[in-house]
Amino acid sequence: MTSPFTYLKHVREEFTHIVWPSSRTALGHTLIVIFIAIAIAILVGLLDYLFTLVVSQVAGG
């Protein structure tokens, strides 16, 4: 088992190998995720509304 200091040294070395995205790429991906989340929320809301209408018609309420 390695010591915590050795482990942290290896972690620091691995961080130098990370290729971080540019701010433009990160912003683009963030906007895509937000757009998809909003689209799914709208879809789920519409489906909920439609199922509520159908169930209320079937139940006679």
Q: What is the pLDDT of residues 29-56, one digit of tens each?
A: 999 999 999 999 999 999 999 999 999 9
User: What is the spatial distance between Cα 22 and Cα 27, in angstroms, rounded to a whole number?
Assistant: 9
The domains of the chain are located at 21-61
Q: What is the pLDDT of residue 22?
A: 97
pLDDT tens digit sequence for 1-39 = 789 999 999 999 999 999 999 999 999 999 999 999 999
Q: What is the pLDDT of residue 1?
A: 74
User: What is the spatial distance between Cα 40 and Cα 58, in angstroms, rounded to a whole number?
Assistant: 27
User: What is the spatial distance between Cα 53 and Cα 61, in angstroms, rounded to a whole number?
Assistant: 10
Where does the chain have alpha helices with state H? 4-15, 23-59
User: What is the spatial distance between Cα 29 and Cα 14, in angstroms, rounded to a whole number?
Assistant: 24
The amino acid at residue 53 is L
